[in-house]
């Protein structure tokens, strides 16, 4: 009776370890990454008007005032 319980515990530990070895490199959630063509937008407050400066936008001027 005691050896039966011991065998079940040992086999369960072996099974859990095998599952861990198989699943440790599997990614269930995709890694987030940013796009390479993101543009830098800075909002500048000057008294009553609001100025937006856009750097690196294709076809846009260097600064909008």
Instruction: With cut-offs at 50, 70 and 90, classify the pLDDT of residue 11.
Output: very high
Q: Name every residue whose Cβ is closer than 8 Å to that of residue 43 and which is 6 or more positions away in sequence.
A: 50, 51, 52, 53
pLDDT tens per residue across span 30-39? 777 766 666 7
Domain ranges, ordered by start, for the chain: 1-27
Instruction: With cut-offs at 50, 70 and 90, classify the pLDDT of residue 24.
Output: confident
pTM of the model: 0.41
Q: What's the rounded Cα separation, in Å, for the pair 46 and 37?
A: 29
pLDDT tens per residue across span 25-58? 887 777 777 666 667 777 666 665 555 555 655 6
């Amino acid at each position: 009776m005691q050896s039966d319980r011991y065998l079940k515990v040992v086999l369960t530990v072996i099974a859990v370890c095998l599952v861990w070895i198989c699943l440790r490199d599997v990614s269930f959630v995709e890694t987030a990454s940013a796009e390479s063509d993101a543009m830098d937008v800075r909002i500048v407050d000057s008294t009553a008007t609001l100025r937006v400066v856009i750097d690196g936008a294709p076809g846009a001027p260097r600064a909008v005032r």
